[in-house]
């Protein structure tokens, strides 16, 4: 949406439509890899957050517009990629089943979010310099 600015020229008032200022945002995407076999990144972190909120892999997957099978495979990979499982599941389907983060899962998620925050803070110092080089 354009902003209007009042300008008075030769006694007449004019509204000048101005384009919105360009906003440059740098958001580092942190990805943790362990050789070629395992990686943990923003998608897995979001899945963990959704599982913690919803108490269900199916509901977490739905919130991310992801298939249940894909979410389940990611949970299995995360559980095998760390020294302890990140997600505990309860079989049963419907009203009886569910999932929750383990203590290790909560810790991994907190540490990952801390690393993301540190990356954003580090990027801020160079953000204005980079923005000055962009074509407006």
Tens of pLDDT, residue by residue over 67-125, are 999 999 999 999 999 999 999 998 876 666 799 999 999 999 999 999 999 988 888 77
What CATH number should be reported for the domain whose range is 30-133? 1.10.10.10
In sequence order, what DSSP letters do the residues of 32-57 get, joined into one string? Answer: EEETTTEEE-HHHHHHHHHHHHHS-H
The arithmetic mean of pLDDT across residues 47-54, rounded, is: 97
* pLDDT interval class at 4 (50, 70, 90): low
List the Cα angle 45/112/58 in 5-degree steps: 15
7-44 pLDDT per residue, tens: 666 666 565 656 666 666 677 889 999 888 788 999 99
Cβ within 8 Å of residue 23, ≥6 positions away:
none
Q: Which two tokens stand for residue 88?
A: 């505990």
Helix, strand, coil percentages (3-state) for the chain, rounded to 5, are 50, 20, 30
Q: Where are the domains of the chain?
A: 30-133
């Amino acid at each position: 949406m354009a902003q209007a600015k009042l300008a008075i020229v030769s006694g007449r008032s004019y509204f000048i439509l101005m384009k919105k200022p360009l906003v440059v945002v740098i958001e580092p995407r942190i990805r943790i890899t362990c050789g070629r076999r395992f990686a943990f990144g923003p998608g897995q972190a979001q899945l963990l957050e959704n599982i913690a909120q919803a108490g269900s892999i199916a509901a977490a997957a739905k919130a991310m517009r992801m298939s249940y099978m894909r979410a389940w495979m990611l949970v299995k990979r995360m559980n095998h990629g760390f020294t302890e499982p990140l997600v505990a599941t309860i079989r049963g389907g419907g009203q009886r089943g569910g999932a929750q983060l383990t203590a290790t899962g909560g810790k991994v998620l907190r540490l990952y979010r801390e690393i993301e925050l540190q990356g954003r803070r580090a990027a801020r110092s160079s953000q204005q310099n980079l923005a000055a080089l962009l074509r407006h």
